[in-house]
Structure formats: C-alpha cells, structure tokens
Amino acid sequence: MGALHAGHTALIDRARRLAGSEGTVIVSIFVNPTQFGPKEDFSRYPRPFAADRALCTAHRADAIFAPGALYEADHSTWVDEETVSAPLCGAARPGHFRGVCTVVLKLLNIVRPDTAIFGLKDYQQCAVIRRMVRDLNLPVRIVAAPTVRERDGLALSSRNAYLSPEERAQAPVIRQALLAAQAAWRRGVRGGEKLRRLVWQTISTAPLARIDYVEVVDAASLTPVVEATRGATIAVAAFFGATRLIDNIQLR
C-alpha cells in the first residue's frame, strides 16, 4: 500500500533475483479502501509516492502499477475466503480479508504475474492469498518472504511511524514475547495454551501495550492447536496507543 520501507524493498530484491536479468519486476502501490474498517486509518495512511518511486528505482524494479482507482461506483462483486480468514485479524477486523482478496485478485488479473511475493509479517494474509490462489486455480506462484526487522526486533511496518517515542520504546516487547515462547518450545513446552499465556504475560509487562489477540495455530489452517508441533505459528496483534501492530513466529 505504499510508504515503502526496507521490508518492502526486500520483497523487490527477492523479485529481482527470481526474475533474473531477463524478467520484469512490477511493484503495485495502491492504498486499498476496501480493507479498512470504518474506524481505521484510511484517510491518514501515508502516501509518499515520490519517495516510493525513488526506492523502486534504486532496487531495480522495472515498473510501478499505481492505479488511481480500482472500483466502479456501483462495484458489487467481492471475493470471500471463508476459513483461513475467519480467526485472528479476520475476527478482529470484519470485512478486512474480503477487501484483501478482492484487491489482490484484481491486481493479479490485471498484471498477470508468474510469481507474486508477499511478506510473512502479514502471516494470515499470506495464508489467505495462498488459499484463494489454490481454490480459484490462479496461474501464479505465491512466494512468502521473511519479515524484516529493526535492530531491536520490531517488525518493520508503515504504521510504526504513528508510534510515540514511549510507544516505540515498548513495542519490541512483542518480538521478545515470541522469542521467549520459541525458547520455551525448544525446551520441550508443547502445550498451546501454556505458550499462549507466556506470550500474553510477557507483552503485558509493557504498560502501554493493549493485546488484541495471542494465538498458537496450525500453520496452514490457522486453527488453534492443543499441542504445538514443528511449524506451528504463534500470531500476535497488540495496540500501542491507537496503533495496531502484528507479528508472528513459526516454531522450528
């Protein structure tokens, strides 16, 4: 959605490597209104297009697809994925993934890429898009790229700019909590509820944190697990002030 940072440019770099010298790398930039809730930050979402274009050029993208609009005034067709999108952010933000699936399908239909690359910070988004591509037989390969982080572990996000200095100082507790759960899992703690409580309690040590959810889920279906086996995912959403941050870790 623009406001590009090092997390996005890592995706462009990955695309360049996959495309090689003969392939074409296209970056889509579109602040999609249909994935914002009525009380969310669509109107104030940053749109620094000149800076975004400079970053795309510096990282050897061949083109930017930046439509002014993608929806007709009487738009009435939507794409709903009904299973993977239901928990986590889907439960917390009704209608969000309907907007995501609809715009991603439109982008894929217009651009017709061989490969599309998404960041794993939005783990549920990757899972939903994979399911949509599978179920609708779309001729595209979905590649999920690792999360890029600040030096203190905070996942890069355009929304980090909304954090006050005090909130920014406390926000890395999300990553610390996830790493604590991973360490416990490596020591033999397998109970999903025990790991969930550990993450919740660790984040709660930050006075400015307000937890939206902490869940330990199956990596593909995103359903909660009783016993966390290899590959299970711990997903977190938490508010610092009005800013909602998400992160996750896969247990390995």
Is residue 163 domain-shared with residue 222, that is, in the same domain? yes
On whether residue 169 sits in a domain, the answer given is yes
- Rounded to the nearest integer, the mean pLDDT of the chain is 97
β-pairing, 209-217 with 141-145?
Answer: unpaired
What was the pLDDT predicted at 200? 98
Residue 65 placed within a domain: yes
Residues 139 and 16 reside in one and the same domain: yes
Q: What is the pLDDT of residues 142-177, one digit of tens each?
A: 999 999 999 999 999 999 999 999 999 999 999 999
The predicted pLDDT at position 179 comes to 98
Same domain, 162 and 140: no
Categorize the per-residue pLDDT at 140 as very low, low, confident or very high, splitting at 50, 70 and 90. Answer: very high
CATH number at residue 77: 3.40.50.620
For residues 168 and 147, give the distance between their C-alpha atoms in angstroms, rounded to a whole number.
18
Shared domain check, 120 and 78 = yes
Question: Does residue 1 lie in a domain region?
Answer: no
Q: Are 124 and 93 found together in one domain?
A: yes
Kindly provide the residue ranges of all beta strands, DSSP E only, lying in the chain, ordered along the sequence: 26-28, 63-65, 115-119, 141-145, 209-217, 233-240, 243-250
Nearest to 147 by CA among 112, 114, 174: 174
Instruction: Name the pLDDT band for 252 (thresholds 50, 70, 90).
Output: very high
Q: Is residue 151 part of a domain?
A: no
| CA 240 to chain CA centroid, nearest Å | 18
Domain boundary among the residues 145, 166, 186 is at 145
Among candidate residues 44, 59, 53, 42, the one with its CA nearest the CA of residue 6: 59
Distance of CA 103 to the CA centre of its chain: 15
Q: Are residues 37 and 132 in the same domain?
A: yes
In eight-state DSSP terms, residue 83 is: S
Distance CA 123, CA 29 (A): 20
Q: Answer yes or no: do 175 and 240 share one domain.
A: yes
Domain end call among 86, 114, 145: 145
Choosing from 5, 8, 59, 96, which is the catalytic residue? 8
Answer with the one of 119, 145, 171 that is the final residue of a domain.
Answer: 145
**pLDDT tops 90 at residue 40:** no
Same domain for 119 and 195, yes or no, is no
Residue type, 11: L
Residues 28-34 have a mean pLDDT of 96
What total of structural domains would you count in the chain?
2
- In this prediction the pTM is 0.94
Is 59 assigned a catalytic role? no
Supply angle C-alpha 42, 154, 250, rounded to 5.
Answer: 100
Residue 150 falls inside a structural domain: no
* Mean pLDDT, residues 52-78: 97
Judged against a pLDDT cut of 90, whether residue 41 lies above it is answered with no
Neighbours of 161 (CB within 10 A): 11
